[in-house]
Amino acid sequence: MIKYIIFHTHTHTLTQMEEINHFSHKNHPLKLINSETIVGSSFDGGDKKPQVIGCYACEKPISSGFAYACLQCRYFLHKSCALLPPTINDPSLYHHPLTLTDLKHIKPRSWFCNMCGIQKKPSGFAYTSVEQHNTLFKFIACIDCCVVEIARRAEADAIKEEAKIKVQHEGHPKHTLTLQLRPASFLCDACNAKDEGLFYECDTCDFWIHKSCVSLAPTIILPHHPNHPLVLVYSLPEKFFNFLYYCEICNKYIRRNLWLYQCANCRYFVHIKCALNAVDQPSTLRDSASASIDDEEVDNFLHFPMLEAFTDPLKLVLFEKTAQYNDDDDDKTKINHWCHQHPLTLNVESQPNNMCCSSHPIEVCFGCVRPLSLPYYTCKDGCNSFSLHKYCAELPLKLQHPLHPDHSLALINTNRLLSLINTRGHGKYNQCNGCGSFCNTFLYKCETCEFKLDVSCAFLPNTIKHKSHKHPLIQVIDPVPVCNACNMWSDYISYACNACNFILDMYCAMRVPRSLGHRYCKGHEIPLTYPPVMDHPEDFFCDICEMEMHPKFPLYYCHKCKNSFHLHCISRIDLYANIFHEGTFNVPYHKHPLTFVRRKKTPKYICSNCNQDINGSLILECRSKVCNFNICLECAYNKVMGP
């Protein structure tokens, strides 16, 4: 004999049970039981495994919730099965009313549901239609199919009631909206997504919106932006119209007239769909884009920005390999180099005028046109200005570069030591395809394609890690995207994360240091700052060009002096960094002769014409004791060529 044990959630349930009389069990009433499970066990306390009881109507287990039961007869029904309507009159199911029928004593064989076509056992409940004076079923459907249709009909009735109510929404305040009775696929005027579903339509104008968009949360918290909540707005606020903004998740353009979530203080904007998907699925492609690169490998990459502008990659990449000097290596103390007509002597002791941190002229290497560092070769036969780093003297004559894989590059000496005054244009110079700078000394060149790289660009790292992006950046030459730091196009070397559609041009990636000095901020350096700038909701204006600054781009910002600077305003791109010139010349725009020189002084060391910083740059300097005139090469070129 089996005893049925009921585990109650409330001890007083048995004394307060409801009862119903059900057509399928006429002998006794059925009592409502509030239980988590109904299990069977042996009456005599044996060790038989408890049995889960099934519902008589649908023959599915009763594992939790409410059920109607006759404990005496061991007869159980899910509450939902016990309360099924006795008849259904729905033309979408059948053109005659359907009756809830107990098949156990009527249908001796298995049968097929006329709605789902699945074969069923000859037991349980079904909805049937019987011919008059006949016991044959003209139509029979399982209760699962009918319950779905009942729920659909109830939902449709609820929609009809809801459609009677006119909705006034803040996102469309001029007119009322009405819920449409049938779902449709269309382009939503709120989220700009084409999804199929119920929608509201404006009673006056052509405004359609998803039903789900009508009930969007006014604020949400995103894992991508945990510091502040995002607020729902129904268009981009007008105060942000000065610049283009892009979704922080999908990186696509934020249209002004679409609904979005925003953090106004941080200028953080997200599409509606992107925000909702980010809440449901916080792990995105961007989070896993570099999963194949382990932390140890990332640590080996060069990390930017550096303390100083990264303008001398050769020194970093090749110095350790070539700088080892042994006193026994007599054959390397003097060499004959292919680029110079005289023997070159190795210098291993520092010279007083090589200190680039002083105000003395900076001597540079003829090969890379960067400040001299030990060891280096010099010419002792009357060419005192000709010097070569040891590593520049040992540069490979042929180079296979990943940015130009089809052909090898040959190291050449362009040997264009021409006066800028007589040049009359940039056509006399070679231009590097890596950085856009003009060159007149060493250069790697493809004789087939005219592809050129100065020796510094030729040895830039292929992969770097940058503070502004969480994934490593790969070296590319891609003229399509704009730089994410300065919003400018670049035909030259950039560093990109393709998974995130993130790219930095070479100057923003490498030649922007962590801090810079400027004469506007005396006594302290200005740190490189990445947005958002906390507690600074107002707009930024560059103190050099006086233009409004895009709040989503990095800038140099002095918290003490409240000065702001564009990256390229405070540190101008020097297109003449690879030009080697020497000598003194008379010029038409100044009364004294001018001399080519490089110096490094203070932040106040500026061009007399454009007021730009000229520290370390090749300039023309007046050495007259009564004159303090200095001019950068860009201004000197413009003076010669005219406006």
Reference 103, options 151, 135, 60; nearest CA is: 135
| Residue 265 · residue 533 · CB < 8 Å | no
Residues 6+ apart with CB under 8 A from 205: 174, 175
Reference 567, options 471, 484, 642; nearest CA is: 484
Domain 219-282 annotated CATH 2.60.120:
no
Q: What Cα–Cα distance (Å) separates residue 406 from each residue in 402, 436, 449? A: 9, 21, 10
| Residue 391: strand, helix, or coil | helix
Reference 337, options 410, 282, 397; nearest CA is: 397
> What's the whole-number mean pLDDT along residues 577-590?
90
Kindly report each contact of residues 508-511 with a partner whose C-beta sits within 8 Å and lies 24 or more positions away, as own/partner. Answer: 508/483, 508/554, 508/567, 509/304, 509/464, 509/466, 509/473, 509/485, 510/304, 510/305, 510/306, 510/309, 510/310, 510/460, 510/464, 511/309, 511/310, 511/311, 511/571, 511/573
d(CA 321, CA 317): 8
**Which band of pLDDT confidence, cut at 50, 70 and 90, is reported for residue 36?**
low
> What's the whole-number mean pLDDT along residues 29-46?
60
Of 596 and 601, the one with more pLDDT: 596
Q: Give pLDDT tens digits for 83-101.
A: 899 998 888 788 888 889 8
Structure tokens at 129: 């239609």
| Residue 340 · residue 386 · CB < 8 Å | yes
**Which band of pLDDT confidence, cut at 50, 70 and 90, is reported for residue 288?**
very low
Reference 221, options 211, 213, 229; nearest CA is: 229
Lowest mean pLDDT among 6-20, 146-160, 509-523: 6-20
Q: Give pLDDT tens digits for 76-86.
A: 998 889 989 99
pLDDT beyond 50 at 5: no
| Residue 640 · residue 420 · CB < 8 Å | yes
Residue 422: predicted pLDDT: 45
> What's the whole-number mean pLDDT along residues 554-574?
90
**Which band of pLDDT confidence, cut at 50, 70 and 90, is reported for residue 132?**
very low
Phi first, then psi: give them for residue 212, nearest 5 degrees. -70, -30
Q: What is the percentage of the chain residues whose pLDDT exceeds 90? A: 33
Q: For the chain, what is the radius of gyration of the CA atoms?
A: 40
Structure tokens at 5: 């044990």
**Which band of pLDDT confidence, cut at 50, 70 and 90, is reported for residue 179?**
confident
> Mind spelling out the 3-state secondary structure of 152-185?
HHHHHHHHHHHHCCCEEECCEEEEEEEECCCCEE
Structure tokens at 450: 């005219």
Q: Amino acid letter at 322?
A: T
Residues 6+ apart with CB under 8 A from 276: none
d(CA 625, CA 629): 10
pLDDT beyond 60 at 532: yes
Q: Give pLDDT tens digits for 301-345.
A: 999 999 988 888 888 877 666 555 555 555 578 899 999 989 999
**Which band of pLDDT confidence, cut at 50, 70 and 90, is reported for residue 356?**
very low
**Which band of pLDDT confidence, cut at 50, 70 and 90, is reported for residue 123?**
confident
Q: Give pLDDT tens digits for 296-307.
A: 678 789 999 999
User: Mean pLDDT of all residues in the chain?
Assistant: 83
Lowest mean pLDDT among 102-111, 289-298, 533-542: 289-298
**Which band of pLDDT confidence, cut at 50, 70 and 90, is reported for residue 281?**
low
Residue 325's Cβ-count burial label (10 Å; 0-12, 13-18, 19+) is middle
| Residue 199: strand, helix, or coil | strand
> What's the whole-number mean pLDDT along residues 202-224?
90
Residue 613: predicted pLDDT: 87
Chain-centre distance for alpha carbon 426: 39
Structure tokens at 455: 């020796």
Bridge partners, residue 202, by sequence: 177
**Which band of pLDDT confidence, cut at 50, 70 and 90, is reported for residue 420?**
very low
> What's the whole-number mean pLDDT along residues 91-115?
83
d(CA 82, CA 60): 13
**Which band of pLDDT confidence, cut at 50, 70 and 90, is reported for residue 585?**
confident
- CA 354, 356, 361: angle at the middle one, nearest 5? 70
Residue 296: predicted pLDDT: 65
Residue 423: predicted pLDDT: 45
Q: Give pLDDT tens digits for 423-469.
A: 444 556 889 999 999 999 999 999 898 899 999 999 999 999 999 99
Tokens 């729920």 sit on residue: 151
pLDDT beyond 80 at 357: no
> What's the whole-number mean pLDDT along residues 200-228?
89
Cis omega before residue 229 (within 30°)?
A: no
Domain-wise residue ranges, the chain: 2-82, 87-154, 165-214, 219-282, 294-513, 515-570, 584-641
Residue 304: predicted pLDDT: 94
Question: Are β-strands 302-304 and 463-466 bridged in parallel, bridged antiparallel, or unpaired?
Answer: parallel
Residue 282: predicted pLDDT: 56
Q: Which CATH architecture has domain 515-570?
A: 2-Layer Sandwich (3.30)
pLDDT beyond 70 at 641: no
Beta strands in 420-552 (DSSP E): 430-431, 438-439, 442-445, 452-453, 463-466, 473-477, 493-497, 502-505, 515-518, 521-529, 540-541, 548-549
d(CA 544, CA 566): 8
| Residue 427 DSSP class | G
End-to-end CA distance of the chain: 109
Residue 49: predicted pLDDT: 59
Q: Give pLDDT tens digits for 610-627.
A: 888 898 899 999 998 888
Same fold, 219-282 and 515-570: yes
> What's the whole-number mean pLDDT along residues 581-608?
88
Residue 74: predicted pLDDT: 86
Alpha helix segments (H runs only) across 310-419: 313-322, 390-393
> What's the whole-number mean pLDDT along residues 113-128?
88
Global pTM exceeds 0.75: no
H or E element, residue 82: helix 79-82
Provide the Cα torsion 97, 102, 107, 112; round to 10°.
60
Q: What Cα–Cα distance (Å) separates residue 36 from each residue in 10, 39, 47, 67? A: 11, 10, 22, 10
Lowest mean pLDDT among 131-145, 463-477, 543-557: 131-145
d(CA 158, CA 364): 83
Residue 535: predicted pLDDT: 67
**Which band of pLDDT confidence, cut at 50, 70 and 90, is reported for residue 266?**
confident
Tokens 């302290």 sit on residue: 524
Phi first, then psi: give them for residue 553, nearest 5 degrees. -105, 150
> Mind spelling out the 3-state secondary structure of 94-149?
CCCCEEEEECCCCCCCCEECCCCCCEECCCCEEEEEECCCCCCEEEEEEHHHHHHH
